Amino acid sequence: MLLYPAIDLRGGRVVRLYQGDFEKETVYGMDPVAVAEGYADAGARWIHMVDLDAARTGTPENRPVIAAVAAAVGPTVKVQASGGVRDQASAEELLACGVERIVLGTAAVEHPELVWELASHHQVAVGIDTRGRDVAVRGWTEGSGVDLFDLLARFADRGVAAVVITDISRDATLAGPDLEGLAEVLDATTIPVIASGGVGALADLEALCTLNAGGGSLEGAIVGKALYEGHFTVEEAVAACGR
């Protein structure tokens, strides 16, 4: 399982939101490039970046920051980026910044054909952010009424590189991941699955690493707050993930 250290951006700063609430923001740094370089030096092979401003409004305010991070750590470390990718042009512009893989969330719900088209030419992941089984959109500010498993079925055999499953109720809580829910996802799809939300200890990563259902295991795990608050180091996390 791969470790994906997270860098969430708002106004150019490194932040975390508690359960996706924009009113519950903690700032962890003013220099995202330095944070990314630290992850790279510690052995991370991927970095997961989220433009929170773009996720909420669709305006890519933090794209220059993402480009700077990709330039600083690439090509050795790859960047996976999300937030506000809702049409062909925004997808191509983000890829032109040096991003290896783009993540589409709202667009995957509202325009799945865009994901199908992009996935035929680029590395594309589908971001599925859930409250229960309801998929949230627009930076988690709205429910979509679309069921998690119905959405997964839309992208079967469509060339999607991964699905990023985020349990909003656990995000930034350090309360542990939803192992049962993730097992259901693994059982329901053959698309590689990246887990996000709730990791607070190395034991959580070890549990995710050994999770197996439907003959499959997790491709990766995204970790943010636990790293920022020193619950463990990137080096320790990489070791716990096994690669």
Distance from the Cα of residue 147 to its chain's centroid:
19
187 CB neighbour count, 10 Å cutoff? 13
pLDDT at res. 221: 98
Amino acid identity of 33? V
Q: Is the pLDDT of residue 243 over 80?
A: no
Residues 89-104 have a mean pLDDT of: 95
Q: Is the pLDDT of residue 139 over 80?
A: no
| Mean pLDDT rounded to a whole number for the chain | 94
Beta bridge partners of 167: 130
Counting residues of the chain whose pLDDT is more than 90, the rounded percentage is 85
Counting residues of the chain whose pLDDT is more than 70, the rounded percentage is 100
Whole-number Å distance between alpha carbons of 147 and 238:
33
What does the pLDDT look like over 6-20, one tens digit per residue? 999 999 999 988 888
Q: Is the pLDDT of residue 227 over 90?
A: yes
Q: Is the pLDDT of residue 81 over 90?
A: yes
Write down the CATH number for the domain with range 2-241: 3.20.20.70
Q: Within 13 Å of residue 116, how many CA atoms lie on the same side as its CB?
A: 13
What does the pLDDT look like over 47-80, one tens digit per residue? 999 999 988 888 888 999 999 999 999 999 999 9
The torsion of the CA quartet 110, 191, 46, 53, rounded to 10 degrees, works out to: 10
Q: Of 163, 157, 101, which is closest to residue 127 (Cα–Cα)?
A: 163
Whole-number Å distance between alpha carbons of 178 and 102:
24
Beta strands in the chain (DSSP E): 2-10, 13-18, 21-29, 46-51, 78-82, 101-104, 124-131, 134-137, 142-147, 162-167, 193-196, 212-213, 216-217, 220-223
Whole-number Å distance between alpha carbons of 147 and 109:
10
Helix axes 63-73, 32-41, angle to 10 degrees: 30
- Contact between 84 and 51 under an 8 Å Cβ cutoff? The reply is yes
Both tokens of residue 158? 């469509």
pLDDT at res. 78: 98
Beta strand 142-147 pairing with 134-137: antiparallel
Residues 18-35 have a mean pLDDT of: 90
Beta strand 212-213 pairing with 216-217: antiparallel
- Contact between 90 and 107 under an 8 Å Cβ cutoff? The reply is no
Q: Is the pLDDT of residue 123 over 80?
A: yes
Q: Of 115, 137, 142, 111, which is closest to residue 126 (Cα–Cα)?
A: 115
- pLDDT: which is higher, 223 or 18: 223
pLDDT at res. 134: 95
Whole-number Å distance between alpha carbons of 164 and 12:
23
Q: Where in the chain are the domains? A: 2-241
Residues 221-237 have a mean pLDDT of: 97
Q: Is the pLDDT of residue 164 over 90?
A: yes
What does the pLDDT look like over 180-207, one tens digit per residue? 999 999 999 999 999 999 999 999 999 9
54-58, 100-104, 110-114, 147-151: least confident range: 54-58
Active-site residue list: 8, 129
Whole-number Å distance between alpha carbons of 205 and 3:
9
What does the pLDDT look like over 31-48, one tens digit per residue? 999 999 999 999 999 999
